[in-house]
Amino acid sequence: MRNIRLALEQLIESNTASEDIMSFHGVHGFLTALTICPAEIKPESVRVVILRGEVILTSQDASALDKAICLLTDDIDRSFNNEDGFTLLYEEDQSNFAMSMEDWCAGFMEAHFLAEDAWFQECEQEVCELLMPIMLASRLFDDELEFRSILQDQLLVEDMCNQIPEVLMELYLIFHSPESVRDKDVLKGGIQRSVPLS
């Protein structure tokens, strides 16, 4: 993971089209959403988001970027199938936890916006509810009335943010498991249950 991170950060820093560089946590959140998403997103579209615009890359940089993205995506997909469950990358960054979580969730939502309709083709209400903690933590929706109300209750905010690892697992199961083998008891709880951060 460390080598992938270093390669991605170097490629992004040297090729980003704007001063708004996408952090590694943002990239990880973005690719996590693409791993969950049932829609196919073109590699060109992925590059445009990660590099904050259309950038003409050298063939060497394009190949290296695509390889790093592929390796990180494979690592994310494997983590959904670990016995210990999905672990959020930003949990490891205790020195700047809040900003890392915000970047990660904002990156996730950017990928969600790329194929928003695909997320709601099945289980629309359930998916909407499951996305709420990620939307909240991304801080992209702070001006909306529903989220302003939630933000006034710090305990509720912490509880919802603590649920994100479980929420991601449930979203992954919705889109990657046959209906017959989905754990209804797990999914039935929606966003009401809390998973402590470790």
**What DSSP line would sit under 49-85, residue for residue?**
HHTTS-----HHHHHHHHHHHHHHHHHHHHHTTSTT-
Q: Is residue 196 part of a domain?
A: no
Confirm whether 163 is domain-assigned. yes
CA 29 remoteness from chain centre: 3
Q: pTM surpassing 0.75?
A: yes
**Cβ neighbours of residue 60 closer than 8 Å, sequence gap 6 or more:** none
In this prediction, residue 50 carries a pLDDT of 96
Residue 123 CA, chain-centre distance (Å), reads 19
Of 96 and 189, the one with more pLDDT: 96
Nearest CA to 90 among 104, 80, 76?
Answer: 104
- What's the CATH number where 41 sits? 1.20.120.740
Is 197 domain-assigned?
A: no
Identify the DSSP state of 148. H
| In a domain? residue 193 | no
Summarised one tens digit per residue, pLDDT across range 56-97 is 999 999 999 999 999 999 999 999 988 877 778 765 656 688
Residue 27 belongs to domain spanning = 2-188
Confidence at 182, pLDDT banded by 50, 70, 90: very low
Domain count, the chain: 1
pLDDT digits (tens, 9 = 90+) for 144-157: 999 999 999 999 99
